A and B are shown apart, each in its own frame.
Chain A
Amino acid sequence: EVQLVESGGGLVQPGESLRLSCAASGFTFSDYWMSWVRQAPGKGLEWVANIKKDASEKYYVDSVKGRFTISRDNAKNSLYLQMNSLRAEDTAVYYCARILSGRGWYRFDPWGQGTLVTVSS
């Protein structure tokens, strides 16, 4: 069974850092792009970052560029999101998702259960 399990969320103060992890199982992790998507309380989904299979390409939403870093360890089947200089507006549930793709199509599939990050003083 394909499974993604996020961890590392919690309550932090503005300006602090946090590192999220996503443990993958049930598929060959190194064969897929991976993604982080977040959802602020009561709001919609927001794409945060993507990373290529071999980590040679990384892309970010403008609001996190320079503060967040996506990375992966294919030997450990794990995806990470290092979040620095956290702001109140980063408060959200953070989901990791695998990116499936083929000729002319992409989809985020599946998703983990999410981990809550709260930034508050």
Chain B
Amino acid sequence: QTVVTQEPSFSVSPGGTVTLTCGLSSGSVSTSNYPSWYQQTPGQAPRTLIDTTNTRSSGVPDRFSGSILGNKAALTITGAQADDESDYYCVLYVGSGIWVFGGGTKLTVL
């Protein structure tokens, strides 16, 4: 059973920079896992942020960026704003047509 790991929670100051990560229980994350990232606020549908090639979905500001850092996928928010306070999810392709979401990171901006 493949598990995708994310920090359960993270805190950032307004204007600060934060990097959230997305790992694999079975080893390193690579571009072949096609990581992508999603933002969700309570009661709302997920909003697509960014994919493996660091391409942002329509309307997503450029202070959101994606990368592979070491053996994990990473989402970096530069210049955090109050409305960035949300849950963030990554998803990875683990082979054989199967995708697995991480447990999500609750980001607090304070």
Contact = CB atoms under 8 A, between A and B. Distances in A.
Interface of A: 35, 37, 44-47, 50, 57, 59, 61, 95, 100, 102, 104-114
A107 B104 contact: no
Interface of B: 31, 34, 36, 38, 40, 45-48, 50-53, 55, 57, 87, 89, 91, 93, 96-104
Contacts of B91: 45, 47, 108
Given A105-B53, A105-B55, A107-B51, A46 B46 contact: no
Contacts, number: 69
B89 A44 contact: yes
7 contacts: A37-B101, A45-B38, A45-B91, A104-B34, A105-B36, A105-B51, A105-B53
B98 A44 contact: no
